[in-house]
Amino acid sequence: MSLKITVIGTGYLGATHAAAMAELGFEVLGLDVVPEKIAMLERGETPMYEPGLEELLRKHVVGLEGSTGRLRFTTDWAEIGAFGDVHFVCVNTPQKHGEYACDMSYVDSAIASLAPHLHRPALVVGKSTVPVGSAERLAVHLAENAPAGGDAELAWNPEFLREGFAVEDTLHPDRIVAGVRGERAEKLLREVYATPIGEGTPFVVTDFPTAELVKTAANSFLATKISFINAMAEVCEAGGGDVAKLAEAIGYDDRIGAKFLRAGIGFGGGCLPKDIRAFMARAGELGADQALTFLREIDSINMRRRGQMVEMAREALGGGSFLGRRIAVLGATFKPDSDDVRDSPALNVAGQIHLQGGQVTVYDPKGMDNARKVFPTLGYAGSALEAVRGADAVLHLTEWREFRELDPAALGEAAPARLILDGRNALDPQLWRRAGWTYRAMGRPTA
Ligand code: UDX
């Protein structure tokens, strides 16, 4: 394949995108400003747990036994500029400290570092999630600072991958969105995606602002679905309904759809919470804040689920203080199949109970190291069985398959109190009740 690809930033998005591009047959050069990350990737390792990614890296990273050698890494911007026909910008855009707004400093500095090295025609493709209007501003910067001038074009091509499914989502996306200004950019992007990725995949060509907005709108919609069902859970809790049945029943309507209707302790992670906040902040700057005031409610429904889980545990334990009570917490990551604990509802609930005097022991299949870093004062166990030993209550807070496959009878031997609270509505109530457990879940009747 003739096009040469670079990928700037090697987090979840960049590392996966680089490996996927190599898998499709392109020569790929990845860049990160952190040399330790590059050293890991060169060994075919990733700083995070993402199913299938290390296998893909080992298949392509140059110098590894049996690899195609199509994927290399560097920290040198000049090498990136000289190598690439298409440069994908995959750096992260976190929430600004103490504000709702998005921190654009990594994107801005990536473009500023790359521009002076663009001596020949190139397409710079933003994949990061950015506030509407960013691409316009960055295109001006590129044209003014790249030696190639107008031949260094920009496009915006948002990425919709989910953690835990990053490889699958990158290789089999639902749609490709191409925010472009001219025909050349569209042609080049079509060429990149004219690989198996693009076959049969809808290719939506838009202007810059629409491409930027598609991503924030999609994440806002997903967050809204989750908070909607969690609001229904609150009403069920008050009125005696069963939110899981309610979700099943409304989900059969194709217009609503069954996905993202699992009630529980809500959404977390590095995307949905910060994206809806950045969206509100940007709308405010544009004088359109009224259009998104509902997102404030989505955020607040989501955040209060965590406190409600804590209260549910307190009540199930007979009320009063957590002092001296032993609480086992199954799950620390914000979702299963990830080691990411950023804004994790599970860890937040564990932390709240700990701060209220509870003796909390956490177990998570992949998130222990990250959880320890964020919350070193919590207790940690090497297995679910060890965590629940002697527990007055077991809280199921991240729906790992390992937890669904637990044997309630064996666990009951270790935790004779046999009280389990399902913060994710993911365990089988009958299975646990038959083994003598008191099973309670958010938004569902107590028996
Ligand atoms: C999300 C978007 O799905 C993805 O398209 C975008 O590119 C990045 O943000 P991700 O953050 O990996 O992906 O997680 P996702 O699978 O969307 O889950 C987000 C959170 O919502 C998790 O904490 C999950 O537990 C929670 N969730 C999800 C629910 O509480 N209920 C549900 O029904 C679904």
Q: Report how far ligand 1's centroid is from the alpha carbon of 75 (Å).
A: 32
Please provide the CATH number assigned to the domain covering 216-300. 1.10.1040.10
d(C-alpha 391, C-alpha 395), whole Å: 10
Cβ–Cβ under 8 Å, residues 201 and 176: yes
For the Cβ of 269 lying below 6 angstroms from any atom of ligand 1, the answer is: yes
Among protein residues, the one with the nearest Cα to ligand 1's atom 13 is 162
For the four alpha carbons of 264, 374, 102 and 281, in that order, the dihedral sign comes to positive
CA-nearest residue for atom 6, ligand 1, is 160
Domain with CATH 1.10.1040.10 in the chain: 216-300
Instruction: Tell me what the pLDDT averaged over the chain comes to.
Output: 97
Give this prediction's pTM. Answer: 0.96
The residue to mutate among 16, 267, 304, having the most atoms of ligand 1 within 8 angstroms of its beta carbon, is 267
Q: Is 271 a catalytic residue?
A: yes
Asked if 102 and 278 count as a contact pair (C-beta separation under 8 A), the reply is yes
Q: What fold, for 4-206?
A: Rossmann fold (3.40.50)
- Name residue, tokens 């009125």: 239
Is 293 part of any known ligand binding site?
Answer: no
295 is an annotated ligand-binding site residue: no
Ligand-binding annotation for 260, yes or no, is yes
Question: Nearest residue CA, atom 34 of ligand 1?
Answer: 260
* Radius of gyration of the chain from its Cα atoms, rounded to whole angstroms: 24
Q: What residues form DSSP beta bridges with 89?
A: 8, 126
SS (H, E, C) the chain: CCCEEEEECCCHHHHHHHHHHHHCCCEEEEECCCHHHHHHHHCCCCCCCCCCHHHHHHHHECCCCCCCCCEEEECCHHHHHHHCCEEEECCCCCECCCCCCECCHHHHHHHHHHHHHCCCCEEEEECCCCCCCHHHHHHHHHHHHCCCHHHEEEEECCCCCCCCCHHHHHHCCCCEEEECCCHHHHHHHHHHCCCCCCCCCCEEEECHHHHHHHHHHHHHHHHHHHHHHHHHHHHHHHHCCCHHHHHHHHHCCCCCCCCCCCCCCCCCCCCHHHHHHHHHHHHHHCCCHHHHHHHHHHHHHHHHHHHHHHHHHHHHCCCCCCCCCEEEEECCCCCCCCCCCCCCHHHHHHHHHHHCCCEEEEECCCCHHHHHHHCCCCEECCCHHHHHCCCCEEEECCCCHHHHCCCHHHHHHHCCCCEEEECCCCCCHHHHHHCCCEEEECCCCCC
- According to CATH, what is the number of the domain 305-441? 3.40.50.720
Domain with CATH 3.40.50.720 in the chain: 4-206, 305-441
pLDDT digits (tens, 9 = 90+) for 221-261: 999 999 999 999 999 999 999 999 999 999 999 999 999 99
Query: CA 369 to CA 158: how far, in whole Å?
Result: 30
pLDDT-derived band at 385, boundaries 50, 70, 90? very high
Residues 62-96 have pLDDT tens digits of 999 999 999 999 999 999 999 999 999 999 999 99
- For 114-157, the pLDDT digits (tens) are 999 999 999 999 999 999 999 999 999 999 999 999 899 999 99
Q: What percent of the chain has pLDDT over 90?
A: 97
Question: Is the shortest distance between the CB of 260 and ligand 1 below 6 Å?
Answer: yes
* Ligand 1 atom at minimum distance from 272 CA: 9
